[in-house]
Amino acid sequence: WDFDIESNAGNNFYPFMIAKLRSNFASDPDNRYLITGAPQCPIPEPNMNEIITRAQFDYLWVQFYNNPGCSVDGTINFADWKKNVAGTPSADAKIFIGVP
Whether residue 50 lies in the annotated active site: no
Q: From the candidates 1, 4, 6, 35, which is the catalytic residue? A: 6
17 Cβ partners below 8 Å, 6+ apart? none
pTM for this model (two decimals): 0.90
* Residue 67: exposure state from Cβ atoms within 10 A (0-12, 13-18, ≥19): middle
Closest CA to 52 of 95, 23, 97, 21: 95
89-92: list long-range contacts, CB under 8 Å, 24+ apart.
Answer: 89/53, 89/54, 89/55, 89/56, 89/57, 90/52, 90/53, 90/55, 90/56, 90/57, 90/60
Q: What pLDDT score was predicted for residue 18?
A: 98
What is the distance of C-alpha 31 from the center of its chain?
22
8-36 pLDDT, tens digit each: 899 999 999 999 999 999 999 999 999 99
49-93 pLDDT, tens digit each: 999 999 999 999 999 888 877 877 777 788 899 999 999 999 999
